[in-house]
Amino acid sequence: MNDWTPVCRLDDIPRLGSRRVARPGSADVAVFRTADDRVFALLDRCPHKGGPLSQGIVFGDAVACPLHNWTINLADGCARAPDAGCTARFSVRMEGGQVLLDAAELRTLALGAFVPQVA
């Protein structure tokens, strides 16, 4: 069972932008909003060198990492070819203009220190 908890309203996230949800002691979670108001959530760490994906440019269904421009798919958190690697994906739900994340996932998912992939 999911433990849905609101983190913000849809309007709190800029279109083609994102917000980050702080998790004290571990990496933030980035919540993205596409042009057509779909919402995705990923660990705020690029699988390449840990860049904060929440700071990237959002386009289509993807975000470009601000550090080295890897393109990460919002739906599955995986880098587009020829780059390879995935970051953790978090469940999101929309309900009456509210964006909800799964509290259990926030508590348990991807808590460890980020280890960058060796290129």
| Residue 38 interacting with other proteins (CB under 8 A) | no
Q: Which is nearer to other proteins, 51 or 77 (CB)?
A: 51
Tell me if residue 9 falls in helix, strand or coil: strand
Query: How far apart are alpha carbons 10 and 100 in whole angstroms?
Result: 10
Maximum CA pair distance of the chain? 43
**Residue in 10, 38, 55, 85 binding other proteins, rule: CB under 8 A:** 55
CB 103 within 8 A of CB 109: no
Under the rule (CB under 8 A), what is the footprint of other proteins? 3, 5-8, 12, 14-17, 19-24, 28, 31, 35, 49-52, 55-60, 64, 66-67, 69, 71, 82, 101, 103, 106-107, 119
